[in-house]
């Protein structure tokens, strides 16, 4: 449909593959040409078969026209990569090459080198030499070297090498996909939440993004002047009435709104959803209606809606627009999610963006609301927590902005999951909607009314919670907690849920405890969490987040990822190997933000 055609401006970045070779002619180079180029082709096939862009299409790779034996061929490759819009660079070789003559010198493109582990030619020697050159020049690069020796004619990619290649490529593509896009702030600071103080230096220097701003009065203007597709509004409202079931009103009788007011609120929140999407990515239909400027949008890959309180004290809240846009389906069918941060928390929006670009799945936005110890649960309910929840749980709950994918009604191999939109069936989307009720907003919080989604996330999903924080004098830092969603007996969930606002969506989350540092207990995870919000991704993606953070020069101050899964540029080891967390801080400070 037309909206998908407008969704992503320009071409997606490609992965460039640089086959480097020993430049000595009259025997040496000639004997290596086929093997070297075959390495490049094998990696291109690996990437194209396993990685996809956010629209579902396979990732595209570009291979240098020739193997690269010296500076002239390196320059020709760089010229081709620039023409082809390459955003990620991988060098492969089975042999010794001339390091500074063949290396990729582009400072803003993530880069890695795979040195073939074979005894016939010294690929590992080149790998070590060129990585030292990258460190010396301040261009951090990832080193990939297989654990087991391969025969010269072996064209397979070992599992350990494969894992590092894919991890590097996923993170590198995330870096490239963010570059040049926008964070759109709709409104300003919500209720004094520091995360909604949008820091343009962070977005510009660390993510390569620009910042766009609109006042929330723009929503009033567009609604009053009809700057939206009225035909789509009619279609959307009809779909909402059929698919979005309204739940009971929990407000005291004297604060409940009339049926007429609720019906008008539904019309308003649907219009707000259309307007938010159009503000983010534009809508060609608006140009046909005479609004050419508004049709352009802000090229926003992520946005934030302030809402509270200036908007929500008078107008319906933003829970519906946030929840529906953050989901992988609406009245136009199954599609990629739009990322919208509640309360314009741009830092949690950035964490949502990281998780989305690494997984192509929708993200749960939630308050990190309450730590429930096993003893507290047993005292209140008589139930003894077990399984993943045995050490206690975190109550993740926000006012209805979380993606409906977070219900866990999609499945992989019969288990609850959250999937890329191209793998979601119509039946699964319907189940997510069926598992959600739309509760009239708590008018003590939202005087202007509206509706909040209410659902319970199914247990058993591997999940990763992350959050970006800014520290004066230090800059951005990232925290990561891998864990699982958990099921509680119905009476236990009800007893705990009703102690807060039961009209909001709940995820019971049990982080994996390592017995060390911030992960010595579930309580310490809560006690060390850096802000009131977190972004929750499907899957254990902590290692990919760490790789991505190192590319952006953002240190990770808290994580429970096993050391053997962590993959950072080789230069990080030069800052110390005994304390990787401290080395991460020193490396990020030394190299500085990627786009500074």
The residues assigned a catalytic role are 343, 367
Burial track 481-494 (b if 16+ CB lie within 10 A, e otherwise): bbbbbbbbeeebbe
The phi, psi pair for 143, rounded to 5°, reads -105, 130
**Per the annotation, does 367 bind a ligand?**
yes
Rounded to whole angstroms, how far apart are CA atoms 239 and 232? 10
To which residue do tokens 């899957």 refer?
A: 539
**Per the annotation, does 388 bind a ligand?**
no
The phi, psi pair for 520, rounded to 5°, reads -75, -20
Q: Record the tokens describing residue 447, joined without a space.
A: 């005087």
Which residues, 6+ apart, have CB-to-CB distance to 380 below 8 Å? 495, 496
Contact predicate 483/510, CB 8 Å: yes
Contact predicate 412/458, CB 8 Å: no
**Per the annotation, does 294 bind a ligand?**
no
- Of 50, 52, 105, nearest to 82 by C-alpha is 105
- Of 534, 13, 544, 54, nearest to 338 by C-alpha is 54
Contact predicate 580/566, CB 8 Å: yes
- Of 154, 185, 138, 228, nearest to 346 by C-alpha is 185
- Of 209, 208, 213, nearest to 197 by C-alpha is 213
Contact predicate 322/298, CB 8 Å: no
Contact predicate 296/427, CB 8 Å: no
What residues are designated binding site? 343, 367, 533
What residues are designated binding site for Mn(2+)? 343, 367, 533
């Amino acid at each position: 449909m037309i909206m998908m055609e407008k969704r992503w401006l320009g071409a997606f970045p490609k992965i460039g593959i640089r086959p480097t070779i020993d430049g000595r002619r009259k025997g040496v180079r000639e004997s290596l040409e086929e093997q070297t180029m075959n390495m490049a082709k094998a990696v291109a096939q690996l990437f194209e078969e396993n990685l996809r862009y956010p629209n579902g299409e396979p990732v595209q790779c570009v291979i240098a026209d020739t193997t690269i034996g010296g500076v002239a061929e390196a320059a020709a490759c760089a010229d081709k990569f620039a023409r082809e819009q390459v955003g990620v660079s991988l060098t492969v070789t089975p042999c010794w090459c001339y390091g500074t003559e063949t290396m990729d010198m582009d400072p803003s493109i993530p880069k890695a080198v795979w040195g073939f582990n074979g005894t016939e030619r010294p690929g590992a020697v080149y790998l070590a030499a060129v990585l030292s050159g990258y460190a010396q020049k301040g261009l951090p690069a990832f080193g990939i070297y297989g654990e087991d020796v391969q025969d010269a004619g072996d064209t397979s990619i070992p599992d350990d090498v494969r894992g590092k290649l894919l991890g590097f490529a996923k993170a590198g593509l995330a870096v490239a996909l963010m570059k040049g896009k926008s964070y759109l702030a709709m409104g300003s600071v919500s209720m004094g939440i520091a995360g909604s103080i949008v820091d343009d230096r962070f977005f510009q220097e660390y993510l390569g993004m620009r910042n766009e701003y609109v006042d929330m009065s723009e929503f009033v203007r567009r609604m009053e002047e009809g700057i939206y597709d009225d035909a789509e509004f009619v279609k959307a409202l009809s779909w909402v009435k059929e698919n979005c079931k309204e739940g009971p009103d929990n407000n005291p009788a004297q604060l409940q709104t009339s049926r007429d007011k609720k019906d008008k609120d539904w019309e308003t929140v649907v219009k707000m959803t259309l307007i938010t999407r159009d503000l983010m990515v534009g809508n060609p239909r608006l140009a046909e209606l005479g609004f050419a400027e508004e049709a352009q949008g802000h090229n926003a890959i992520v946005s934030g809606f302030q809402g509270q309180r200036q908007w929500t004290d008078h107008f319906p809240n933003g829970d519906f627009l946030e929840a529906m846009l953050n989901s992988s389906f609406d009245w136009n069918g199954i599609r990629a999610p739009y990322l919208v941060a509640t309360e314009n928390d741009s830092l949690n929006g950035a964490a949502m963006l990281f998780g989305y670009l690494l997984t192509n799945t929708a993200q749960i936005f939630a308050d990190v609301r309450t730590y429930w110890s096993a003893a507290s649960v047993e005292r209140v309910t008589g139930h003894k927590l077990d399984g993943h929840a045995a050490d206690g749980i975190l109550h993740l709950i926000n006012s209805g902005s979380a993606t409906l994918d977070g219900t866990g009604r999609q499945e992989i191999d019969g288990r609850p999951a959250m999937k890329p939109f191209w793998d979601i069936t119509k039946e699964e989307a319907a189940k997510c909607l069926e598992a959600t009720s739309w509760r009239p907003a708590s008018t003590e919080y939202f005087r202007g009314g509206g509706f909040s989604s209410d659902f319970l996330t199914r247990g058993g999903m591997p999940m990763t919670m992350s959050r970006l924080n800014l520290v004066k004098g230090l800059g951005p830092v990232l925290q990561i907690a891998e864990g699982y969603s958990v099921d509680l007996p119905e009476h236990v969930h009800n007893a705990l849920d009703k102690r807060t606002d039961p009209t909001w969506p709940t995820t019971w989350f049990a982080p994996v405890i390592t017995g060390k540092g911030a992960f010595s207990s579930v309580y310490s995870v809560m006690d060390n969490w850096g802000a009131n919000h977190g972004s929750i991704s499907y899957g254990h993606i902590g290692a990919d987040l760490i790789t991505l953070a190192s590319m952006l020069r953002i240190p990770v101050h808290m994580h429970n990822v096993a050391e053997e899964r962590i993959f950072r540029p080789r230069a990080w080891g030069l800052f110390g190997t005994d304390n990787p967390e401290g080395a991460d801080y020193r490396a990020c400070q030394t190299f500085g933000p990627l786009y500074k």
